[in-house]
Amino acid sequence: MRYSRMFIPTVKEVPADAEVASHRLMIRAALCRKVASGTYTYLPLGWRSLLKIIAIVREEMDKAGAQEILVPVMQPAEFWDKTGRSTDYGPTLFRFTDRHGRKSVLEPTAEEVVTYLAAGEISSYKQLPINLYQISPKFRDEFRPRFGVIRSREFIMKDAYSFDADPEGLDKSYKAMYDAYCRIFKRCGLEYVIVEAESGEMGGSGSHQFTVPCESGEDTIIYTEDGSYAANLERAAVDPLPKEKSSAEIPAIQEVHTPNIGSIEAVCKFLKTKPEQMVKTLIYSTKDKAVAVLIRGDHDVNEEKLRLAVGGKRIELADEATIEKVTGAKVGFAGPVGIANKVDTILMDHAVAAMAVWVTGANKTDYHTKNVVPGRDFDMNNAQLIDIRYAVDGDTYDGEKLLFKKGIEIGQVFKLGTKYSEKLGAKFLDENGVEKPCIMGCYGIGINRILASAIEISNDNNGIIWPISIAPFEVLITCVNQDDEKVAQVAENIYQDLMRKGIDVLLDDRSLRGGVKFKDADLIGIPVRVTVGRKSVAEGNVEIKLRSETKSTKVSIEKATDKAIELVDSLKEELKT
C-alpha cells in the first residue's frame, strides 16, 4: 500500500477527551474516530489491525474444534424474557420495538439465540459435543462508556458456546477454549494473567478471566506473591482476621444520641472512633426475604459473594421503606442487636466476628450503641459467619499476602451448566434414551480490547509499538527524498520486492519533509522500518531498524529485502505458540 493514497489522517495535537494512552494513540495514529459516546468508526489502519486479530482468533477457534456461525444482532426480546435476563441485564440491554410492535433487543451476547438454535437442532448425544462461535458486533448500553474502545457501547466480540452431554465433556470443552485463549493472546503479543472469576448474571459454576495488567485497566486482579492464588476482585477470597484480644473490662452496652448522624464517617467523627471499630448493618432484600449483612465499617460488601451466599438469587440493597420496617429506624441507624427476629437471615463477615467490641447502629432513629460485645450483647448463633467483603490491602488468603493489580479484561470463559438449556429446551436423548439438558459453556473475547490493551502496554512518547502479528503493516518503507528520482526508485524497488514476497508493506511515498515522515512512522508504530534516503543510497545502502529500538543498521540496497524479511520472521518467531 502507498501511504500517499491511503487514508491515514494522523493528528499532532493530543485529543482533549482521551484519558488513557491507548485511546490517545488510537486517535492520533488514525486508527479510529469517535462517532458518539461509546461508538467508533475504524479507519483503514485500525481496521487492518482488527482484521488481523480476528484472523488469529478464527484460526485458533477452528483449530480448537469450534465452528463459526453468525446469529442476528437483532433478537426477539421474548428469548430474553424466557431466561430472565431481560431483567437481569436491566438497562444495559438495548431494546426497541419494530413497526408491528414486536419487542426486540440488540445482542449484548448470544446465549439465548444459540441455545434456541441448539434446542431445535440437537436431539441426540451423538451430535455432542459441539461448539459454535461467532465474531460480531455486540451492544451494551453502558451507563458510562469510557477509555475509548475499552468500554464502548458497541464492540466486536468473539463469543463461543459449547454443548456437552455430561460434566466431564464440559470440562474438556472448557479446557480446549482455555488453551485456545492462551494461544490467541500469546500470538497477539499480550502479557496476560488468568484469574479465577465469578460468573455473575451469566450463571454457572466456574469461570476464568484473562486480564492484561496495566495501570489504566478497570478491573482489579488479586494474587499471592508465590503465584498459588489469583482471582479478580469479585471473586477473591480472604482469610478470617485474627481474633482481637478483648481488654479486661468492657463497660456495659450503651446507647448514644447521634442526631442526624448516619454515615460511618460522621459517626466516627462524632464519637471519636474509627471505621474499623464500627459495624455496618446493611439490609438487603431478595424477592421474598430480608437479609442483614454485618460488615466492618471500613470494608465493602462484595455483592457477588452475597449473591452466592443467598443461593445465587438476585439480591439488592433494600429500599428505605423496608429498612425502616425492619429496623424501626431511619436509614443510617441499623444495628445487629435485636434484629435477629426482624430479618430472615443475618450474614456476618469474618472480620466482624474477629472484633472484640462494636460500635453499631441502635435500630432507633438518631441513636448508635457502643460497647457492644459479641457473644455478650449479640448472640453469635443468630448469624451465619462468612466471607462476604471485598479483599483489601493487608488481607491474606491461605496465609499468603494478597497483592493488587489493575488490568483490562480481554476474555472470560464460563462453565454455564444447564441454566440456558433448561429454560430454552436444549435437550437430547442419551444412550439410554433418557432426556437431558445440554451442559453448556460460553467463552468471550473482546476483539477491540485486544487492540487497545496491546497499545496500552506497548507504546512510548512517540507512538505505538505494535506486536507484529496485529500491526496494520509489517514493514514501513520511509522514502526520505521522494523528489529524488533515484532514491524514490530504490524505495519503490524494495517495496515491490517485499510485496512479491508476501510481506505486508507500506511505502511512505509522500512528497513531504523527512521529519514529518519519521514522526508519522513512530506514531503509527509499524514494527520494521526501512529508511531510504539520499545519503545512504549514495553509498549503496539503506537503513533498517525496529520500531522498538533506536539504533538502525545499514544494509546494502540489494540485501535490504532479505534483511527486512529476516527481522519480520524473527519478530513473528517470538510470538509463536
CB distance 348 to 267 below 8 Å: no
Residue 444 sits in the site that holds RNA (CB under 7 A): yes
Smallest CA-to-CA distance from 494 within 398, 560, 433 is with 560
CA atoms of 88 and 105, how far apart (whole Å):
14
522 sits near RNA (criterion: CB under 7 A): yes
Nearer to RNA, 94 or 155 (CB): 155
* Least distance to RNA, CB of residue 306, Å: 10
Q: Which is nearer to RNA, 430 or 484 (CB)?
A: 484
43 versus 253: smaller Cβ distance to RNA? 43
Residue 513 contacts RNA per CB under 7 A: yes
Q: Which of 290-298, 362-370, 432-440, 442-450 is the region at the interface with RNA (rule: CB under 7 A)? A: 442-450
Taking CB under 7 A as the rule, does residue 410 contact RNA?
yes
Instruction: Give the span between the Cα atoms of 447 and 438, in whole angstroms.
Output: 28
Packed helices 21-28 and 447-457: angle between N→C axes, nearest 10 degrees: 100
**CA dist., res. 347 & res. 370, Å (int):** 20
Smallest distance from RNA to CB 29, Å: 9
Q: Helices 560-574 and 485-500 meet at what angle, rounded to 10?
A: 50
Residue 561 binds to RNA (criterion: CB under 7 A): no
* Residues 137/446, Cβ–Cβ less than 8 Å: no
Nearer to RNA, 63 or 534 (CB): 534
Minimum distance between the CB of residue 256 and RNA, rounded to whole angstroms?
29
Residue 7 near RNA by CB under 7 A: no
Query: Any contact of residue 245 with RNA (CB under 7 A)?
Result: no
C-alpha cell at 422: 433448561
Q: Which stretch binds RNA (CB under 7 A): 201-209, 237-245, 281-289, 330-338?
A: 201-209
User: Judged by CB, which is closer to RNA: 145, or 335?
Assistant: 145
User: Does 265 contact RNA by CB under 7 A?
Assistant: no
CB of 411 to RNA, least distance (A): 5
* Chain mean position to CA 445: 9
Q: Are 236 and 402 in contact (CB under 8 A)?
A: yes
Choice from 86, 448, 459, 469 touching RNA (CB under 7 A): 448
Quick note: the x/- pattern for RNA over 91-130, rule CB under 7 A, is -x--------------------------------------
**Burial of residue 433, with CB atoms counted within 10 A of its CB: 0-12 exposed, 13-18 middle, 19 or more buried:** exposed
* Span of 119-127, 289-297, 362-370, 408-416 interacting with RNA by CB under 7 A: 408-416
Q: Are 89 and 201 in contact (CB under 8 A)?
A: yes
Q: How far apart are CA 58 and CA 42, in angstroms?
A: 20
62-70, 361-369, 415-423, 508-516 -> range binding RNA (CB under 7 A): 508-516
If binding is defined by CB under 7 A, does position 14 make contact with RNA? yes
CB 92, CB 108: distance < 8 Å: yes
Between 16 and 45, how does the x/- string for binding to RNA read (CB under 7 A)? xx-x--------x-----x-xxx-------
DSSP states of 219-277 as a string?
EEEEEETTSS-EEETTT---PPPPPPPPPS--PPPEEEE-TT--SHHHHHHHHT--GGG
480 binds RNA (CB under 7 A): yes
For the chain, count helices (H), then strands (E).
16, 32
Q: Would you count residue 537 as binding RNA (CB under 7 A)?
A: yes
Instruction: Tell me: does residue 206 bind RNA (CB under 7 A).
Output: no
Residue 396 engages RNA in binding (rule: CB under 7 A)? no
Amino acid identity at 228: S
Place of cell 549514495: 538
Q: Which residues bind RNA (CB under 7 A)?
A: 10-17, 19, 28, 34, 36-38, 92, 140, 142-147, 150-152, 155, 157, 200-202, 209, 218-219, 303-304, 409-412, 414, 444-446, 448-449, 462, 480-481, 483, 513-516, 518-523, 531-537, 543, 552
